[in-house]
Amino acid sequence: MEVCCQLPVLPLDRPIPKHVLIRRGAISLCSSSALFGGPAPRQLSKRRGAVSYDSSDQTALYIRMLDVRGRAKTGSESKRPERQELHTEQYCDCREINYAAIAAANSERPVSVVRNLHRTLSLRRCSNSSQPLHVSPPENRAFLLDLPKATCMLKRLGRWNFNIFLFDQLSDGKSLLGLTYHLFHEYGLLDLFQLDPLKLRGFLVMVQENYHSQNPYHNAIHAADVTQALYCFLQEPKLSESLTSCDILLALLAAVTHDLDHPGVNQTFLIKTNHYLAKLYKNTSVLENHHWRSAVGLLRKSGLLSHLPAEDRLGLEERLGSLILATDISRQNEFVLDFRARLERSDLDLSIAENRHFILQMALKCADICNPCRPWEHSRLWGRRVTQEFFSQGDIERTQGLNVSVLCDRNTNTVAQIQISFMSFVVEPLFIEWTRFSDTQLSQTMLRHLTLNKARWSRPDEADQEEQTRRSRPDQSKRT
């Protein structure tokens, strides 16, 4: 199918809200601003500045994977609803992946559950600015803080053994929303940046809902887990003493959105299937670019930063992209080697903005792959989830007659093997450098868990258990 790579444009020519016009405290975030120079964050709340609005900046790039669950069942019927919507939305290169049939063939879950996995990856062009983008109706925005058990857990948010799975249950599946909203309040970011609480909530609702809950691993709970881990790192003395409020705002936004709209397959899959996103981003950091541009789209759609000067918003969006792009695992060696070299040169003066940004990149990378450094029960669950996602991709590849990607073949890999390799070659080198940078009790705890978890995965009983799980799945090689 011919791929249309024309970028979609989302008009944002809404009038300036009244509550923004009457504000006195819009803070300039331009590069000349003292915000980037690192003043004490508390002083910023006393600043007063004029609100400016760049009327020329009225367009936004917005790309997202469209979830068409529940629209149609099979065959040609499945395309009808999309055609009917073309008068208001244009779709390009809708590449369908029948997750339902494949998952049903492999999963032990009931068909009624896996049927909901049917998903179309689509480039959506919004031609109508009033078109809602996956925003829940107001009654669905009942907030986490109405849930006392979840609220109680927030007191322990800074602990490394925080149970994100339990928190997600207690927060009625809104862990990412509740956790992030709490952190924005804790850091005083609403006052410091004059953020509208309703816009923040609307933004976070959209973020939460634009993660794919059907993904075993790359879903909103993973984003919440990464945000919680990053919060732990932000508490470390070297960071807490040097980061500005702008750094913290960016770090939280990056953690929350770093896997936004993840399709549950990796870049290799998108390239080998000629997916339009691979072409759009020229086979380079395809998913990370998509997460970043999706995050920018939701930021603009929500109007969360619309009261800031356009130059400052664009600067924030660029830095957000730099943080999210750093999570590309194919650039792991590049970052680890750079980190090591800077540490050896003692070249990490955190009063310099560029160095603080680099440390935030490293902190986000650590948070993103910290699962093996968590307590065993959590670590094991994450290990199983990510492997399940890998194997699902491998099943799709096998069914479509494609070469099964590395680590994605359930017939030749085990959870234990994948985890041990990942720990040894990816996680350990990064966390060793992080500990050199920040040799604290938390860093030592993480390394201790890493060592214990690797030993646990190596135990025969653990390997046997995982092997039984793997073998209990249908043998797909016999089906193709």
**Binding interface with Zn ion (CB under 5 A):** 259, 368
Least distance to Zn ion, CB of residue 237, Å = 26
Q: What φ, ψ does residue 371 adopt, rounded to 5°? A: -50, -45
Q: Which is nearer to Zn ion, 206 or 260 (CB)?
A: 260
Separation between Cα atoms, residue 176 and residue 228, nearest integer Å? 9
Q: Which of 240, 396, 317 is nearest to 57 (CA)?
A: 317
Q: What φ, ψ does residue 10 adopt, rounded to 5°? A: -110, 110
Question: Residue 312: CB partners within 8 Å, gap ≥ 6?
Answer: 28, 29, 30, 33
Q: Is 182 a catalytic residue?
A: no
What is the total residue count of the chain? Answer: 480
Residue 124 pairs in a beta bridge with: 91
Q: Which is nearer to Zn ion, 102 or 296 (CB)?
A: 296
Least distance to Zn ion, CB of residue 176, Å = 12
Q: Which is nearer to Zn ion, 35 or 65 (CB)?
A: 65
Separation between Cα atoms, residue 92 and residue 261, nearest integer Å? 17
Q: Which is nearer to Zn ion, 288 or 409 (CB)?
A: 288
Got the DSSP string for 257-324? Answer: HTTTT--SS-HHHHHHTT-HHHHHTTTSSHHHHHHHHHHHHHHHHHTTTTTS-HHHHHHHHHHHHHHH
Q: Which is nearer to Zn ion, 157 or 254 (CB)?
A: 254
Least distance to Zn ion, CB of residue 173, Å = 18
For the packed helices 99-106 and 376-399, what is the interaxial angle rounded to 10 degrees? Answer: 120
Q: Where are the strands (E) in 102-169, listed by range?
A: 119-126
The CA–CA distances, whole Å, from 352 to 38, 39, 348 equal: 8, 12, 8
Least distance to Zn ion, CB of residue 226, Å = 6
The verdict on whether residue 274 carries a ligand-binding annotation is: no
CA-based end-to-end distance of the chain: 24
Least distance to Zn ion, CB of residue 193, Å = 25
Q: What angle do CA 298, 92, 288 make, to 5 degrees?
A: 45
The verdict on whether residue 259 carries a ligand-binding annotation is: yes
List the catalytic residue out of 118, 212, 218, 275: 218
The verdict on whether residue 258 carries a ligand-binding annotation is: yes
The verdict on whether residue 419 carries a ligand-binding annotation is: yes
Cβ 383 vs Cβ 415: under 8 Å: yes
The verdict on whether residue 218 carries a ligand-binding annotation is: yes
Separation between Cα atoms, residue 157 and residue 166, nearest integer Å? 12
**Scanning the structure block, which residue is given the tokens 């390997």?**
463
Is residue 277 classed as helix, strand or coil in its secondary structure? helix
The verdict on whether residue 222 carries a ligand-binding annotation is: yes
Q: Which is nearer to Zn ion, 259 or 261 (CB)?
A: 259
The verdict on whether residue 453 carries a ligand-binding annotation is: no
Least distance to Zn ion, CB of residue 92, Å = 27
Residue numbers belonging to the annotated binding site for AMP = 218-222, 259, 368, 419
List residues forming the annotated binding site for Zn(2+): 222, 258-259, 368
- Residue numbers belonging to the annotated binding site: 218-222, 258-259, 368, 419
Query: Which residues are known catalytic residues?
Result: 218
